Every structure is written in structure tokens, then in C-alpha cells.
Amino acid sequence: MKIGTHDTDKKVFIIAELSANHNQDFELAKKGVRVAYEAGCDAVKLQTYTPDSLTLDVKEERFKAGDLWQDEYLYDLYKRACMPYEWHKPLKKYADELGILLFSSPFDLQAVDVLEKIEVPAYKIASFEITDIPLIRYAASKGKPVIISTGVGDTLDIELAVAACKSEGNENIVLLKCTSAYPAAPESMNLLTIADMKERFAAEVGLSDHTLGNDAVIASVALGARVIEKHFTPDENIETPDGAFSLSPSQLREMVQSVRNVEKMLGHVKYDDKSKKYARSLYVSRDIKKGESFTKENIKSIRPGDGLHPKHYEEILGKIALTDIKAGTPLSWENINV
């Protein structure tokens, strides 16, 4: 699938998710774009919303005990975490100058309009928006790839989201396996779902990862993920709303390198190896005179692999040498009276 200038068939698409780690500081957000670029990511992703895009300004709904943002009202968190809309254009311009893709997660129709104006190459639907069919349809109607996190979605939710894209004539769909916990526990990941998701929904698949570290990312690429999304912070020394489950700049670089190494390791289906020439083969282990029999005392299976295959050992025993053969000579059929 083509996402902007990137082809997921040729290379895993790595998205650095800035999320709320800009702290409503433009220079920190701009630094985030640069950090993602320098780490070797293919794209940096923003989130485009206002608190009113997500919830009501009422003092009733707050995060529960045990949540990362426990006891904080939803509206208050979104108010301090949202990125001003006027930042999107200059950040997109800066990303273009560096040569890294920039797109975003819209959380309402207005956000899609904002992002259309800056010509983003794709849209990301966040996990908790997978049931917002009007939003998905509107984003899909723009004709760009739609990347959908499935963290809170069951199979019906995913089917409806995919159908919403296709109803707008958009078949460019990526489904991300996701566990919507912050951070997510390793045992909650169920990465084997990636292969099932690809087959069940006939879509490109990937991983949106909220675990600590990069183990899940590495495993998911080995399991067939072609898109990776991971939260990062531009500066690990600055406290940010999502910093507790975000990679530092150095960890982000390590993740990218690990993904690229895994891609090389996967290669293609292959059973032969160039190193086979150093495997065992049959050699003359003691000088043999013409007319002498081959025995367990004068031929041996040793390295390297320049002689006959060891599978012929029993077959050759007792046969007659056609010529004098010095010890250390790889055995060949030319030496043997067959």
C-alpha cells in the first residue's frame, strides 16, 4: 500500500506518535518532528482535536483510580493535551522540509477539514473512535489511506469501520492491533491476532503499541505487521501527559534500527546456504594406491565440503581406487571404480 511516498509492501511504515507530548509548546512540538526524522521514522503523527471534540465540559466524568491520569476530569486533560490548530500548517511545512511525512488523528469532522487544508497523506482513526462511523466515512471520503486502531473494537466494530471506508470507495485501509491501556502489559498484547486480522478483514495490518520498550514492536514485525505506531517524547527530561509510556529519542532510534534489522532477517523463503561449502564431505584420510579398496581407515567424513556427500560413505566402502590418491584429497567419482 502507498502512504504518501512510502510503499508498505517494500518497507515497514514506522509512525512516531507525538500525541500530547508537545506540552502546548510549539518549539517542543517542532523538536518532536525533528527527533522523529533523525530517528529514521517514516512519519510523525499528531492528534487534531479540541476538548469539545471529545467530551462535555462537565465535572462528572473523570479517570478512575489506577489510570495514568487518575482523578483528572476528561475535559481538563484534553484541554491541556490538545494541540492548537494553528500549529498544524507550520509543523507540516517543517516536516516537508526535513523529508518526513506528517499526518494526524482527527477526532471530529472539523479536524478532517483542518487536515485537508494542509494536505496530509493519510488519516489515523484512534481506537476509541472506531465506533464513530460518520467520522470514519468522512475521513475515508478524502481518498487517502485510513489507518484504524482496533484497541476497543470487537470484530463487529472492525467490520463496520472497514465497511464505512469501502462505502466511500476507499479500499486503502490499515488495521492496527492495539491494546488500549497506558501502558499496556505484555500479557495483554495477543500479537497472534495480527495474522488473523489480516486474513479475516483482508486489509493491511500493523501494531499501535503502548507497552514499555520495543519487544512487542519487534515481535509484531516478525508476525507480519507492515505499519508500526509508537508514542515518543521529544525530551525525556520534560514531564508530559503521555510521557510515562513514550519512548525517549534514543529509544526511538533503537526501535527503528530493530525494525529494519528484523526486516533484513525475515528475507524470503530459502533453504540453501552459501556456507554449505564448509559442511562435511568425504576425504581421503590416508594415502591410497591404485587398485586398493576404500575402507574406514582411508576415507573419512570431514570439513570442508569439497568432496562427495557423506551419504555415499557406505556405498563407497569396498570399492577400488582407480588412481593413486594422496591423503587430504577430496573424494570424487573419478577416483572410484563404480
* Better-scored residue on pLDDT, 138 or 63: 138
Answer yes or no: are the C-beta atoms of 63 and 74 closer than 8 Å: yes
Among 214, 236, 266, the domain-final residue is: 266
Q: How many CB atoms lie within 10 A of CB 190?
A: 10
Domain membership of residue 164 (yes or no) is: yes
Please check whether residues 201 and 308 belong to one and the same domain.
no
Among 243, 266, 289, the domain-final residue is: 266
> How far lies 269's CA from each of 265, 266, 272, 273, in Å?
11, 9, 10, 12
Helices (H), 99-225: 109-117, 133-140, 155-167, 193-201, 215-222
Please check whether residues 151 and 241 belong to one and the same domain.
yes
Domain membership of residue 179 (yes or no) is: yes
Answer yes or no: are the C-beta atoms of 47 and 106 closer than 8 Å: no
- Specify the 3-state DSSP secondary structure of 167: helix
CATH number of domain containing 280 = 3.90.1210.10
- Whether residue 65 is predicted with pLDDT greater than 60 in this model: the reply is no
Please check whether residues 206 and 297 belong to one and the same domain.
no
pLDDT tens across 171-207, in order?
A: 999 999 999 988 999 999 999 999 999 999 999 999 9
pTM passes above 0.85: yes
Mean pLDDT estimate for the chain? 94
Helices (H), 40-185: 51-54, 74-81, 88-98, 109-117, 133-140, 155-167
Domain membership of residue 2 (yes or no) is: no
Domain membership of residue 245 (yes or no) is: yes
Residue 303, domain extent: 274-337
Please check whether residues 261 and 283 belong to one and the same domain.
no
pLDDT tens across 112-139, in order?
A: 999 999 999 999 999 999 999 999 999 9
Residue 56's pLDDT is what?
Answer: 84
Lowest mean pLDDT among 77-91, 98-112, 221-235, 261-275: 261-275
* Mean per-residue pLDDT, 286-310: 97
CATH number of domain containing 56 = 3.20.20.70
- Whether residue 334 is predicted with pLDDT greater than 70 in this model: the reply is yes
pLDDT tens across 161-170, in order?
A: 999 999 999 9
- Specify the 3-state DSSP secondary structure of 247: strand
Please check whether residues 165 and 293 belong to one and the same domain.
no
Please check whether residues 90 and 139 belong to one and the same domain.
yes
Number of structural domains (the chain) is: 2
Please check whether residues 101 and 194 belong to one and the same domain.
yes
* Cross-strand pairs, 46: 104
Residue with cell 562435511: 280
Please check whether residues 210 and 319 belong to one and the same domain.
no
Domain membership of residue 147 (yes or no) is: yes
Domain membership of residue 191 (yes or no) is: yes
Among 239, 266, 293, the domain-final residue is: 266
Please check whether residues 92 and 19 belong to one and the same domain.
yes
Domain membership of residue 310 (yes or no) is: yes
pLDDT tens across 235-267, in order?
A: 999 998 888 889 999 999 999 999 999 999 999
Domain membership of residue 1 (yes or no) is: no
Please check whether residues 74 and 156 belong to one and the same domain.
yes
Q: Look up residue 152 and give its three cell numbers.
A: 476497543
Please check whether residues 287 and 159 belong to one and the same domain.
no
Please check whether residues 98 and 236 belong to one and the same domain.
yes
Lowest mean pLDDT among 71-85, 199-213, 273-287: 71-85
